[in-house]
Amino acid sequence: MLKKMLTIIPLLLVASSGVAGPLRVSLPPLMGAVPVALGAAWGMFAEEGVEIQLLPLASQRDRLVAFQAGQIDAMVTDLTSAIMLASQMPGEVAIVSTAYYPTSNHPPHLALITQDYSDLNDLADLVGMEAKGAVRIAVPRQSDLEFALDMLFISQGLEPPEEAYIGQDDLLVNATWVLFGMVSCGVLPQPYVDYLLNYKYEGKPQLTVLSDFSDIPIPPSVIVFHRLVLAAQLPDVDGFFRAIRRAVERVNGSSREELLATGWDVAVELFFPGLTPETLNPEAREKVETAIQAIHIPKLPEPGPVPKEMFELVRTWAKGKGYLAGTVDYDQVVAILGP
């Protein structure tokens, strides 16, 4: 159950909520969304007595707008977006738990990828070319990926070349830009890294990993709820997280072959919408299936509280970038899950 809800909502609001409907949840193409998607496919939410409605939205911007408008009750998102939302909606946003926390960098969770013909050998080359206006870096602005990229440059004593950042919150588009040389390089998370490096076709350029973000703090994706929903539907929220924990346990306890046979296609659809082998011709299907087979399936951590140190690191960075509409306090935003 939720041990701490730091904004007290009058009981009158709970009483007036009437019969609760399904939990409306939106998922991004992030690893943190996998337990929710698989839990729904495996019927775990229904088994916990929770009705959920997964609402597909085209972009991160659409998800944030829908959350602000009350069109969704909860979402998986990156920590930067959650903190920005909390600054825009004081007292209304609860960061309830982590969704996926890449605590290990083996294999790397993030990669800065370029083409061999780009003549980029290291970050210093990027900064030098940016000064000449000759480089573009695909990275979603106002995101954990931008945070990690800034931290990467700073860790090497370099000023982040912000003028070279191209804002695009569709990671599949970013991957395409990198693959076809429409940008100098791009920051991508898993599973896009494995897919991009392993998808083969005639004439594909050789891709190079400029950095795997070793020793760079990578924020967790998080699960965010409206506080009114927490108050009005707390039993459903508890059941929601019980189902997620069961999904995590099943993923971690299954062999790769079992996962590929019992629902991993649902996860693949999250990251590559419309890219199902069944809709492709035999030659293309073989290439897609080979690339999907190369995707690393990580051990999924259970949901847990967002570490305060990481929260403050991202909050301070976002404030310095001018991304926050107001003040954000960890103890007023983060709700802590119990067993």
Between CA 117 and CA 262 the distance in angstroms is: 40
* Residue from 259, 136, 114, 274 nearest 196 by CA: 114
Query: In this predicted structure, which of 39-48, 88-97, 269-278, 317-326 has the lowest mean pLDDT?
Result: 269-278
pLDDT tens digits along 98-136: 999 987 767 889 999 999 988 888 899 888 887 777 789
Q: What is the pLDDT of residues 235-293, one digit of tens each?
A: 999 999 999 999 999 999 999 888 878 777 787 788 877 666 566 677 777 777 788 78
| Domains in the chain with CATH codes | 2-101+220-337 (3.40.190.10), 110-211 (3.40.190.10)
Dihedral sign, CA of 92, 96, 99, 105? positive
Alpha-carbon distance 232 to 113, whole Å? 45
pTM of the model: 0.90
Closest CA to 156 of 220, 80, 215, 114: 215
Report the alpha-carbon distance of residue 50 to residue 59 in Å, rounded.
Answer: 26
Across the range 150-160, mean pLDDT stands at 95
Q: What's the token pair of residue 167?
A: 């804002």
Task: Name the E strands within the chain.
Answer: 2-4, 23-26, 52-54, 74-78, 93-100, 110-115, 137-138, 165-166, 185-189, 207-211, 221-226, 336-337
